[in-house]
């Protein structure tokens, strides 16, 4: 048998080489014509593209039986442990994770602790008689499952009565039955460890093997009437495919079947291709194209059959694929006529290298614009990048545009096309665009709301509001259509199929933008700001905050907010009216570590000073902390510098002496300790005073000034009262004596450690420290 197979393979080598030659010539262009078939779903795993068991992996992933890893890989060659295989086998039998969870816990195996993750799956598999342990009472969950062991499990899962064969190897009878069932093809060594892709192959075949309700059925050459499959897969060649209607029919089927909108489709779905699919709720939910890309040819028809009078050309035509002209030969019954010239085709190449089926359609493509470019002059050209492919317009190309999906197409110009528009392109035989129709997928206008019919009318046409259409008012999502207002402007967003997916009305918000230009307010003329190239009006009643201060919109001057960063802003949706705007200057604060000409380095980043902006010559070595004000190009347009200062309550002061010489000095403020370069700087600093420290660039104290005094000493703490206006008062001695607290007042223990307000007690004696305004900034528990 094996020798005959080899001879057959040699006999077909010539035709296979020709097929390979054709595939090599055209495969590069096989994706050059989008829109030919169903938009293929991206593979869920990054490492299965070239795996021979890819289709099985995809089916089991869809069925939830054998998943991948969180990093997006499947790891097809990773060996499977016995515990992992127990889970796969249980799920392949049709049980669920929830059912397995019910059996978690103690097992019959001495090496399997009750808290092992797989106990539920193993107990369920044992209860079904498909998995056993070893004679010594172990399960060995971390051992790799062998090919023979996996096949044995599936033979037992098919309820096949296995009879001893007298062979010295225990697994031989099971392999024979697995082969009869069509699961095992004798390609893998029985005693070898089973990798994930091989387990996927066996599991897929097991789940597709038809079984009677009361016993096994596994004769792959017999009648499967009255049986069912764990994984009900329909297989065959595509007889017809209606892309727009999302319907297909296989050879031998009487009726078309519809593909679900969310269908997972893997591969190039075309007429003639071999496919396998799974249905859900009467529609195709999963489909994989078994015919490989190397067997599929896509291109543009350049001639009909018999393009010359030479003998032998009766079954040949010329085509352009990926810019190259090739000659293709067809099998009997496949027709390509002169009327097809300029149209696109997708064909399936047979084992003999000839085209055995072909689908010809208008040479059009549809997609979302990713880039628009135009070159003028002697080499002028206009190009669009659509879904990853660049198209060039013919010099005589016509352009029409639609304001929204249901609007009438009117004459337009190439300059009207923008990124994210939907375009439909008609291509000529040279692959250039001869006709172009674009559709805007975002439209702004006054709307009419019809809650009775669940419609929104805009631009003279109606759009149905679907269950999943998002409705927003003032940027808050609402559930009911009647929360939108007729007669007001709204922004409508559509998907590429023309469905209304979002309606926005009211006030919108944005953040993290920059102002590039400002114009002044004048009577009868609103002040404006330019943001991302678009000009917005600042309404006179707008709430305007600049650098933390409230500003009147009627006082805005020319260029006042140029180079400011927008923290938040609100605008009337669908208009350019700003109702709220919060801005701040773009600043950077830090020490200069390097200065070279007009460039300085701050916080590890290099900044360039604009002409006329100066900085101290010793900026890279002095103790000033500099504040840089930047423009929108990131260049410094203003700069100020001053030593860094820190203020707060003194927790502790420490000066260490050794033989009469000061060896170190430190001060702790607000829980942070600072080294002191000169002990004289903290000579007058005492615990619990309020201090302002001046720091050098290393963060060490070079000067200090103190304020605050001990206003009340050793008084009885009564309580703290919080008033409606958020002011706080500390009461002491009795309920008639109190002092107001600062907003950031600290509560300390006598050793300087922080305390919580809830820890204070009427049994405590406290010291109250006040600032120059007589407000208590520190409550110190002196005695408890």
Give residue 387's pLDDT: 87
Does the pLDDT of residue 703 top 80, yes or no? yes
In 3D space, the residue among 274, 417, 430, 431 whose CA is nearest the CA of residue 351 turns out to be: 274
How do residues 501-543 score in pLDDT, each as one tens digit? 999 998 877 777 889 899 999 999 999 999 888 899 999 999 9
Give Cα 162 to chain centroid, integer Å: 51
Does the pLDDT of residue 34 top 50, yes or no? no
Q: SS3 of 723, please?
A: coil
Does the pLDDT of residue 3 top 50, yes or no? no
Give residue 529's pLDDT: 93
Mean pLDDT value across residues 363-385 = 88
Does the pLDDT of residue 737 top 70, yes or no? yes
Of the ranges 111-120, 469-478, 564-573, which one carries the lowest mean pLDDT score?
A: 564-573
In 3D space, the residue among 712, 734, 693 whose CA is nearest the CA of residue 779 turns out to be: 712
Does the pLDDT of residue 35 top 60, yes or no? no
Does the pLDDT of residue 408 top 90, yes or no? yes
How do residues 720-734 score in pLDDT, each as one tens digit? 999 888 899 999 999
Give the separation between CA 190 and CA 183, rounded to whole angstroms.
Answer: 13
Q: How confident is the model at residue 645 (pLDDT cuts 50, 70, 90)?
A: very high
Give Cα 664 to chain centroid, integer Å: 55
Does the pLDDT of residue 26 top 60, yes or no? no
Does the pLDDT of residue 646 top 50, yes or no? yes
Give residue 136's pLDDT: 94
Give residue 221's pLDDT: 66
Pairing of strands 470-473, 500-505: parallel
In 3D space, the residue among 681, 690, 595 whose CA is nearest the CA of residue 641 turns out to be: 595
In 3D space, the residue among 347, 336, 332 whose CA is nearest the CA of residue 305 turns out to be: 336
Give residue 24's pLDDT: 46
Give residue 222's pLDDT: 67
Return all residues near 751 (Cβ < 8 A) that are at least 6 apart: none
CA angle 359, 365, 371 (to 5 degrees): 150
What single DSSP character describes residue 215? B
Q: How confident is the model at residue 571 (pLDDT cuts 50, 70, 90)?
A: confident
Return all residues near 652 (Cβ < 8 A) that are at least 6 apart: 667, 668, 687, 752
Question: From the CB of residue 724, how many other CB atoms can be counted at a distance below 10 Å?
Answer: 5
Does the pLDDT of residue 62 top 80, yes or no? yes
Give residue 487's pLDDT: 92
Mean pLDDT value across residues 7-13 = 34
The DSSP element (H or E) to which 198 belongs, if any, is helix 196-208
Does the pLDDT of residue 628 top 70, yes or no? yes
Burial of 40 (0-12, 13-18, 19+ CB in 10 A): middle
Does the pLDDT of residue 21 top 90, yes or no? no
Give the separation between CA 109 and CA 123, rounded to whole angstroms.
Answer: 10
Q: Ramachandran region of residue 569, left (φ > 0), alpha (ψ -120 to 50) or beta?
A: beta
Contact of 203 with 56, CB cutoff 8 Å = yes
Give the separation between CA 310 and CA 413, rounded to whole angstroms.
Answer: 47
Contact of 580 with 570, CB cutoff 8 Å = yes
Mean pLDDT value across residues 103-129 = 94
Q: How confident is the model at residue 9 (pLDDT cuts 50, 70, 90)?
A: very low
How do residues 261-312 score in pLDDT, each as one tens digit? 889 999 888 888 889 999 999 999 999 999 887 888 888 898 899 888 788 7
Average pLDDT of the residues of the chain = 88
Residue that wins the pLDDT comparison between 587 and 625: 625
Burial of 92 (0-12, 13-18, 19+ CB in 10 A): buried
Give residue 780's pLDDT: 95
Does the pLDDT of residue 193 top 70, yes or no? yes
- The total number of residues shown for the chain amounts to 784
Give residue 185's pLDDT: 87
Does the pLDDT of residue 661 top 50, yes or no? yes
Does the pLDDT of residue 28 top 50, yes or no? no
Give Cα 123 to chain centroid, integer Å: 39
Residue that wins the pLDDT comparison between 494 and 8: 494
> Percentage of the chain surpassing pLDDT 90?
62
Give residue 729's pLDDT: 95
C-alpha dihedral, 103 to 109 to 114 to 117, nearest 10°: -70
Residue 319, strand partner residues:
301, 326
Give residue 295's pLDDT: 86
Give residue 741's pLDDT: 95
Mean pLDDT value across residues 664-692 = 92
Give residue 228's pLDDT: 81
User: What is the residue-wise DSSP string for 660-714?
Assistant: TEEEEEEEEETTEEEEBS-GGGGTT--TT-EEEEEE-TTS-EEEEEEE-EEEEEE
Give residue 8's pLDDT: 29
Q: How confident is the model at residue 615 (pLDDT cuts 50, 70, 90)?
A: very high
């Amino acid at each position: 048998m094996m020798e005959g197979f080899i001879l057959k393979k040699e006999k077909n080598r010539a035709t296979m080489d020709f097929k390979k030659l054709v595939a090599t010539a055209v495969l590069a262009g096989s994706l050059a014509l989008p829109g030919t078939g169903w938009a293929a779903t991206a593979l869920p795993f990054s490492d299965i593209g070239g795996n021979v068991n890819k289709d099985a992996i995809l089916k089991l992933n869809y069925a939830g039986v054998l998943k991948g890893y969180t990093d997006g890989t499947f790891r097809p060659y990773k060996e499977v442990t016995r515990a992992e295989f127990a889970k796969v086998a249980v799920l392949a039998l049709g049980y669920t994770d929830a059912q397995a969870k019910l059996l978690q816990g103690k097992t019959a195996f001495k090496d399997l602790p009750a808290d092992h993750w797989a106990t539920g799956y193993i107990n369920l598999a044992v209860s079904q008689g498909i998995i056993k342990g070893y004679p010594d009472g172990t399960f060995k969950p971390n051992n790799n499952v062998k090919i023979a062991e996996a096949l044995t499990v599936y033979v037992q899962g098919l309820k096949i009565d296995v009879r001893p064969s007298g062979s010295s190897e225990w697994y031989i009878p099971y392999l024979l039955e697995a082969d009869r069932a069509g699961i095992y093809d004798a390609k893998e060594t029985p005693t070898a460890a089973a990798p994930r892709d091989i387990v996927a192959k066996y599991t897929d075949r097991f789940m597709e093997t038809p079984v009677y309700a009361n016993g096994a059925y596994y004769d792959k050459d017999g009648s499967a009437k009255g049986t069912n499959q764990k994984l009900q897969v329909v297989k065959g060649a595509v007889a017809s495919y209606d892309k727009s209607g999302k319907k297909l029919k296989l050879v031998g089927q009487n009726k078309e079947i519809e593909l679900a909108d969310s269908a997972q489709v893997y591969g190039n779905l075309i007429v003639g291709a071999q496919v396998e699919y799974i249905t859900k709720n009467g529609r195709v939910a999963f489909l994989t194209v078994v015919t490989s890309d190397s067997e599929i040819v896509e291109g543009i028809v350049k001639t009909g059959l018999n393009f010359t009078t030479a003998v032998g050309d009766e079954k040949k035509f010329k085509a352009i694929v990926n810019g190259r002209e090739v000659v293709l030969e067809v099998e009997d019954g496949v027709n390509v006529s002169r009327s097809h010239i300029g149209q696109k085709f997708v064909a399936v190449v047979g084992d003999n290298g000839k085209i055995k089926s072909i689908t010809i359609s208008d040479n059009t493509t549809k997609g979302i614009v990713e880039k628009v470019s135009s070159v003028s002059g002697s080499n002028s050209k206009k190009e669009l990048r659509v879904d990853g492919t660049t198209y060039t317009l013919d010099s005589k190309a016509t352009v029409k545009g639609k304001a929204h999906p249901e609007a009438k197409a009117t004459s337009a110009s190439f300059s009207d096309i923008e990124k994210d528009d939907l375009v439909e392109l008609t291509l000529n035989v040279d692959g250039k665009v001869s006709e172009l129709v674009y559709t805007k997928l975002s439209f702004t206008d006054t709307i009419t709301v019809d809650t009775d019919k669940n419609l929104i009318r805009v631009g003279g046409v109606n759009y149905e509001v679907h269950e999943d259409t998002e409705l927003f008012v003032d940027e808050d999502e609402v559930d009911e259509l009647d929360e939108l207002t007729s007669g007001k402007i709204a922004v409508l967003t559509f998907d590429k199929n023309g469905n209304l997916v979002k309606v926005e009305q009211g006030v919108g918000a944005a953040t993290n933008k920059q102002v590039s230009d400002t114009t002044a307010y004048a009577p009868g003329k609103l002040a404006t700001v330019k943001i991302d190239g678009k000009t917005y009006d600042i309404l006179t009643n707008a709430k305007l905050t600049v650098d933390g201060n409230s500003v009147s919109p009627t006082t805005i001057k020319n260029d006042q907010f140029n180079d400011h960063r927008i923290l938040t802003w609100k605008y009337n949706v669908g208009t350019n009216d700003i109702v709220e705007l919060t801005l701040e200057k773009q600043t950077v604060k830090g020490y200069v570590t390097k200065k070279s000409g007009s460039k300085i380095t701050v916080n590890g980043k290099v900044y360039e000073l604009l002409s006329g902006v100066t900085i101290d010559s010793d900026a890279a070595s002095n103790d000033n902390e500099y504040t840089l004000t930047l423009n929108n190009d990131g260049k410094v347009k203003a700069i100020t510098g001053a030593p860094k200062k820190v203020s707060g309550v003194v927790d502790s002061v420490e000066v260490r002496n050794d033989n009469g010489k000061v060896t170190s000095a430190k001060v702790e403020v607000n829980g942070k300790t600072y080294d002191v370069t000169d002990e004289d700087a903290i000579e007058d600093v005492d615990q619990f005073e309020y201090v302002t420290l001046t720091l050098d660039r290393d963060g060490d104290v070079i000067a200090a000034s103190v304020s605050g005094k001990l206003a009340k000493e050793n008084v009885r703490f009564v309580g703290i009262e919080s008033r409606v206006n958020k002011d706080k008062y500390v009461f002491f001695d009795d309920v008639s004596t109190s002092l107001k607290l600062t907003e950031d007042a600290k509560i300390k223990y006598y050793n300087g450690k922080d305390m919580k307000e809830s820890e204070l007690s009427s049994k405590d004696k406290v010291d109250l420290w006040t600032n120059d305004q007589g407000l208590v900034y520190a409550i110190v528990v002196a005695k408890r």
